[in-house]
């Protein structure tokens, strides 16, 4: 071997050693772009992990989203790598602070020493809205002895050719997902961070839709250089929705320059639905990162009827013979006119010459958003008073006379002792689980002039009662697994 060949071989050997050292030290850079509100980085990592061995990676989440958040941790776990979170799969991070967590990584026993297994760590936060997802690439370097081939000189028989240098690996943690058959699941109220790479790449996702429910698919961020589109397909791959740019994320401040797509759709049938994400011009690259989220908005502003809620504490009371007794000066709270066509019947005892006033009151169920003073959405009660037979009509009232209300009230002085019936319905027989009212029967005191419902609410706002904790045990209860209870003897008859 001449001196020039020796120098050339030494030079290539040095290059190979440097490449191995650089590969062992490389760690993935965050794919968190500016403006997402959080970052995820690798703090410490083992130099290598033996096949079948375990090593600990330490990650750090920094939260700058403006709210305290709980992040749910998952990994791509590719190449047979197993990841365990010793402290659990959730990390709480206060706004403006950072928190570290440890991921114990188990290298597969079949891994080849010297191999580099690239993984992705995901940290997703679904509350408060909007959802936030971040991720970080990290590499598991498999340790152990490696095979060093012996260099054998091969004579060159033809002209020298240039060897192409491989480019960067163009895959995120969800590839391959370039067709409906390879679509990856996207769960409701979660976000995923993905890459459009290489040029012409398409990402397919799938989710389970419930008929009648409203879902929103949102690209909450995309890196400069790409202009993504969204398209939704049904189970037969018929296109049912498409969007390129969505300018109205903030209705108070529309932004025509917002090119991130978003689709909100009410799903027509139960079944799987597919999402296709691609660049409008077919662009793609390793630095083209985007976040996609699936939001479940239930049934929207007019949800479907939940029949169990319609059964208030007084049901069934839809007929005179099912009428519930209401006593003098009693309030029956939280009654519902539900479902459509519902009627509530009550019966009370009336004494000759006494003055009774019975009325509905919906004011405390108006809610935080008032459209028209104290009028509850959908509520306009009608009250009917019948004689002791439950049929003969004595009086009817729709709205309290002289009042700024849609509630009902009847004043009644019996001429004969007996049990009288009252029916409460809603105008148009409209009924749903949101129409609620209180029913009050007042027996006026002699000479009392302010016996009616009045302008002031007779009941306080609805407040759930929180039960108080019972006493704390004086000592901690410890279950002794070795102390097995022994069965008692069965008495002989």
Does 137 share its domain with 233? Answer: no
Beta strand 202-209 pairing with 184-185: parallel
Domain-embedded: residue 486: no
Indicate the burial class of 79 (C-beta count within 10 angstroms; 0-12, 13-18, 19 or more).
middle
Residue range 218-227: mean pLDDT, rounded: 91
Instruction: Report whether pLDDT(150) > 70.
Output: no
pLDDT, position 155: 55
Domain-embedded: residue 22: no
* 141, 169, 201 - which closes a domain: 141
Domain-embedded: residue 169: no
Token couple for 142: 């498999």
Domain-embedded: residue 10: no
Does 402 share its domain with 329? Answer: yes
Does 191 share its domain with 120? Answer: no
Does 236 share its domain with 314? Answer: no
Does 68 share its domain with 136? Answer: yes
Does 280 share its domain with 316? Answer: no
pLDDT, position 131: 85
SS3 4: helix
| Range from 3-12, 117-126, 327-336, 432-441 carrying the lowest mean pLDDT | 3-12
Domain-embedded: residue 2: no
For residue 5, give Cα distances in angstroms to 12, 19, 154, 156, 485.
11, 21, 12, 13, 83
Give the domain range for residue 188: 180-296
Does 313 share its domain with 439? Answer: yes
Instruction: Report whether pLDDT(179) > 50.
Output: yes
DSSP 8-state code for residue 142: B
Does 351 share its domain with 320? Answer: yes
pLDDT band at 168 (very low <50, low <70, confident <90, very high): low
CATH of residue 107's domain is: 2.60.40.10
Which among 25-29, 151-155, 322-326 has the top mean pLDDT?
322-326
* 296, 331, 347 - which closes a domain: 296
Does 283 share its domain with 311? Answer: no
Domain-embedded: residue 189: yes
DSSP 8-state code for residue 337: -
Contact 46, 57 (CB under 8 A): yes
Sign of CA dihedral 299, 302, 303, 304: negative
Strand partners, 245: none
Of 48, 118, 107, 56, which Cα lies nearest the Cα of 86?
A: 56
Residue range 139-158: mean pLDDT, rounded: 64
Instruction: Report whether pLDDT(401) > 50.
Output: yes
Instruction: Report whether pLDDT(157) > 70.
Output: no
Residue range 385-390: mean pLDDT, rounded: 95
Token couple for 222: 């995309």
Does 114 share its domain with 235? Answer: no
CATH of residue 275's domain is: 2.60.120.380
Domain-embedded: residue 19: no
The H or E element containing residue 418 is strand 418-426
Does 416 share its domain with 356? Answer: yes
pLDDT, position 145: 73
Does 337 share its domain with 257? Answer: no
Share of the chain above pLDDT 70, in %: 78
DSSP 8-state code for residue 20: H
Q: How many domains does the chain have?
A: 3
pLDDT band at 100 (very low <50, low <70, confident <90, very high): very high
pLDDT band at 432 (very low <50, low <70, confident <90, very high): confident
- Strand order across the beta sheet in which 228-233 lies: 184-185, 202-209, 271-279, 228-233, 239-243
* 296, 323, 341 - which closes a domain: 296
Domain-embedded: residue 86: yes
| Range from 65-74, 354-363, 475-484 carrying the lowest mean pLDDT | 475-484
pLDDT, position 492: 55
Query: What is the average pLDDT value for the chain, to the nearest integer?
Result: 82
């Amino acid at each position: 071997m001449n001196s020039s060949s020796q120098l050339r071989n030494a030079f290539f050997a040095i290059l190979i050693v440097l490449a191995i050292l650089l590969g062992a030290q490389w760690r993935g850079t965050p794919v968190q772009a500016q403006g997402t509100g959080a970052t995820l980085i690798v703090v410490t990592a083992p130099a290598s992990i033996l096949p079948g061995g375990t090593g600990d990676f330490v990650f750090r989440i920094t939260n700058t989203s403006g709210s305290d958040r709980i992040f749910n941790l998952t990994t791509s776990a590719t190449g047979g790598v197993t990841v365990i979170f010793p402290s659990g799969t959730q990390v709480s991070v206060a706004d403006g602070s950072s928190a570290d967590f440890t991921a114990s990584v188990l290298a597969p026993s079949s891994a080849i020493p010297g191999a580099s297994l690239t993984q992705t760590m995901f940290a997703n936060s679904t509350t408060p809205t909007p959802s936030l997802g971040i991720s970080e690439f990290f590499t598991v370097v498999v340790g152990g002895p490696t095979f060093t081939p012996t260099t054998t000189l091969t004579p060159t028989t033809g002209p020298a050719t240039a060897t192409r240098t491989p480019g960067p690996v163009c895959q995120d943690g969800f590839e391959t997902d370039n067709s409906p058959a390879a679509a990856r699941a996207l769960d409701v109220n979660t976000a995923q961070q993905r890459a459009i790479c290489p040029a012409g790449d398409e990402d397919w996702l799938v989710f389970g839709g419930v008929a009648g429910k409203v879902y929103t698919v949102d690209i909450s961020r995309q890196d400069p250089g790409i202009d993504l589109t969204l398209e939704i397909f049904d189970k037969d791959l018929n296109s049912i929705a498409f969007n390129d740019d969505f300018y109205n994320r903030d209705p108070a401040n529309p932004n025509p320059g917002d090119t991130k797509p978003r689709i909100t759709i009410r799903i027509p049938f139960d079944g799987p639905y597919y999402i296709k994400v691609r660049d409008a011009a077919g662009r793609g690259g390793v630095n083209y990162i985007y976040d996609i989220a699936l939001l479940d908005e239930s049934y929207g502003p007019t949800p479907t009827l939940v029949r169990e809620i319609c059964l208030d504490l007084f049901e069934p009371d839809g007929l005179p013979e099912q009428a519930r007794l209401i006593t003098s000066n009693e309030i029956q709270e939280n009654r519902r006119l539900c479902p459509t066509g519902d009627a509530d019947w009550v019966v009370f005892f009336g004494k000759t010459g006494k003055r009774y006033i019975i009325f509905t009151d919906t004011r405390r169920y108006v809610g935080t958003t008032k459209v028209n003073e104290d009028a509850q959405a959908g509520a306009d009660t009608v009250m009917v008073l019948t004689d002791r037979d439950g049929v003969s009509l004595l009086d009817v009232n729709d709205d309290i006379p002289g009042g700024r209300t849609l509630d009902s009230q009847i004043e009644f002085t019996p001429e004969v002792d007996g049990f009288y019936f009252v029916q409460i319905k809603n105008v148009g027989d409209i009924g749903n689980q949101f129409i609620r009212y209180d029913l009050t029967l007042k027996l006026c005191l002699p000479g009392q002039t302010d016996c009616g419902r009045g302008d002031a609410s007779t009941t306080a706002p609805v407040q759930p009662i929180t039960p108080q904790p019972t006493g704390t045990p004086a000592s901690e209860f410890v279950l002794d697994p070795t102390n097995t209870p022994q069965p008692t003897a069965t008495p002989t008859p």
